[in-house]
Amino acid sequence: MQAKKAELKLIEEKAKNCFECELCKNRTNMVFSDGCEEASVMFIGEAPGKNEDETGVPFIGRAGKLLREYLLETGYKKNDIYIANTVKCRPPENRKPTNKEKKACEKYLTKQIELIDPKIIVLVGSTALESFLDKKITITNARGKIFEKEFAGKTRKFIPIFHPSYLLRQHSKEPNSPRYLFKKDLITVKDLIKDAN
């Protein structure tokens, strides 16, 4: 466990001093992760936004707060979760990270996945989905489904979910509304880790 912590710290330091893509130019903070290194679930979002860049913590702005509220509501404990993003520095104007930027950042995320070795990886939104799974599947079709794929040395389980920024514009909680499905998917993941424990 100590070795894992130390290795993660080392990668974090490398990412802090990374100048491999344009995103380093405007960063206030590199945003590495939040949560528990022993977590069973790893959430992977798109990229840091303004609040994340300012604090160095992922999913801390409006969308992040909404995700965290839903996690609490569905009974996740702090130790269940580890959170990261496809890129670790904020893209200007919150645009989507380019393939080149994602490629430059890939080694850090891959190492995080390898070390955390979660039971399930939750792909939060279409950018994370496209980074790991077939680019032709839409988030609407893929969400809530479990995909198994070889990644970082073993077969891993991935589940895409809507991005919480989409939910900020969707207020209904009626059956089959985006918020309803988001909660349903978080419950699916929760059941999965319960079964695996």
- Which tokens in the block code for residue 53? 């860049």
Of 35 and 61, nearer to ligand URA (C-beta) is 61
* b/e per residue 145-174 (b: at least 16 CB within 10 A): eebeeeeeeeebbbbbbbbbbebeeeeeee
Report DSSP state, residue 135: T
Half-sphere exposure (CA, 13 Å, Cβ side) for 167? 25
91 close to 22: Cβ distance less than 8 angstroms: no
* Rounded Cα–Cα distance for residues 50 and 111 (Å): 25
Of 47 and 116, nearer to ligand URA (C-beta) is 47
Position of minimal CB gap to ligand URA: 45
* Rounded Cα–Cα distance for residues 31 and 53 (Å): 7
Cβ at position 61, least distance to ligand URA in Å? 6
Task: Determine the interface stretch with ligand URA among 48-56, 71-79, 135-143, 167-175 (rule: CB under 6 A).
Answer: 48-56
> How far apart, in Å, are the Cα atoms of 122 and each of 7, 17, 25?
23, 27, 29
Task: Determine the interface stretch with ligand URA among 53-61, 71-79, 97-105, 140-148 (rule: CB under 6 A).
Answer: 53-61
Q: Which of residues 27-46 bind ligand URA (CB under 6 A)?
A: 45-46
Residue in 8, 33, 49, 126 binding ligand URA, rule: CB under 6 A = 49
Of 95 and 174, nearer to ligand URA (C-beta) is 95
132 in contact with ligand URA (CB under 6 A): no
85 in contact with ligand URA (CB under 6 A): yes
Residue in 58, 91, 118, 160 binding ligand URA, rule: CB under 6 A = 58
> How far apart, in Å, are the Cα atoms of 171 and each of 49, 62, 125, 140, 174?
22, 14, 18, 17, 9
Of 40 and 131, nearer to ligand URA (C-beta) is 131
Of 47 and 161, nearer to ligand URA (C-beta) is 47
Of 140 and 176, nearer to ligand URA (C-beta) is 140
65 close to 167: Cβ distance less than 8 angstroms: no
Number of residues that bind ligand URA (CB under 6 A): 12
Binding positions for ligand URA, rule: CB under 6 A: 45-49, 52, 58-59, 61, 63-64, 85
